[in-house]
């Protein structure tokens, strides 16, 4: 979580823990590794943008073209020239940038060949629309859908990182048992401590300890994911509250 401002790690596996402002600044200066890091960033956060475009009234083909064209413009750095990523939240920056892109380049976006001559395949059109069919059909605004999906993305990112840690320790089975205790499994009731103890063959006290540590580590990873999307550590708690509010607003309808 302590990547130096403006630096890009040598190990591609660390791209997902690098702050977004560092990635964008590095991309503007064309530092080695910055393009791959920016590609990873776009791959992680494309769906909230697509969901916003669909709820904003764009048909699936147009939403696909707009989303693809927007992220392609980020990778080609056209959208970075007047940006100061050292200030503000990535969530707000990305949505405002996308709105500007739609206003300024919608016609051009529809004419873009998806991906151009670049190997840029993160947007699975069929998967995008399949996922969108599960979005609530009520009057949630595009912004609320966007924020809720952003929150779900961060929850999933933290869970994915925690899973990778358990895999590295050879304890994926324990992860699968404990996963319902964290936010990535919204809507799924976690097992009881007694069930955990029985499944893992441990004492009740040990089960409670493992669940506590699991939740604590997940919370730490989630805070890291939020930290990389804001400009200052003091904003982490406010951003978490905002994302919780977004999830509450869409509760039962995601």
Residue ranges covered by each domain of the chain? 10-115+123-135, 136-254
pLDDT tens for 129-139 read 677 666 655 66
Q: What is the gyration radius of the CA atoms in the chain, in angstroms?
A: 19
Higher pLDDT, 251 or 100: 100
Q: Where are the alpha helices (DSSP H) in the chain?
A: 20-29, 34-55, 60-75, 90-111, 125-132, 142-168, 172-178, 193-200, 204-227, 236-249
pLDDT digits (tens, 9 = 90+) for 210-252: 999 999 999 999 999 999 888 888 899 999 999 888 888 876 5
pTM recorded for the entire structure = 0.74
Buried b (16+ CB within 10 A) or exposed e, 118-140: eebebbebeebeeebeebeeeeb
């Amino acid at each position: 979580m302590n990547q130096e401002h403006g630096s890009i790690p040598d190990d591609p596996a660390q791209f997902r823990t690098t702050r977004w402002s560092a990635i964008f600044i590095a991309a503007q200066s064309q530092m080695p590794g910055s393009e791959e890091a920016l590609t990873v960033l776009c791959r992680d956060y494309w769906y909230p943008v697509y969901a916003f475009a669909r709820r904003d009234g764009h048909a699936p083909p147009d939403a696909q073209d707009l989303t693809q064209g927007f992220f392609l413009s980020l990778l080609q750095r056209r959208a970075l020239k007047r940006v100061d990523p050292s200030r503000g939240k990535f969530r707000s920056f990305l949505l405002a940038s996308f709105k500007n892109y739609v206003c300024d380049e919608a016609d051009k976006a529809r004419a873009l060949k998806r991906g151009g001559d670049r190997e840029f395949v993160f947007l699975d059109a069929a998967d995008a629309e399949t996922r969108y069919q599960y979005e609530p059909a009520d009057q949630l605004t595009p912004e609320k859908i966007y924020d809720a999906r952003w929150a779900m993305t961060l929850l999933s990112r933290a869970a994915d990182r925690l899973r990778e840690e358990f895999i590295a320790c050879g304890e994926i089975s324990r992860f699968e048992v404990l996963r319902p205790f964290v936010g990535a499994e919204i809507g799924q009731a976690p097992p009881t401590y007694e069930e955990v103890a029985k499944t893992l063959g441990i004492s009740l006290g040990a089960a409670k300890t493992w669940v506590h540590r699991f939740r604590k580590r997940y919370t730490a990873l989630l805070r890291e994911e939020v930290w990389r999307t804001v400009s200052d550590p003091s904003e982490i708690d406010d951003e978490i509250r905002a994302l919780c509010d977004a999830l509450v607003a869409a509760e039962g309808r995601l």
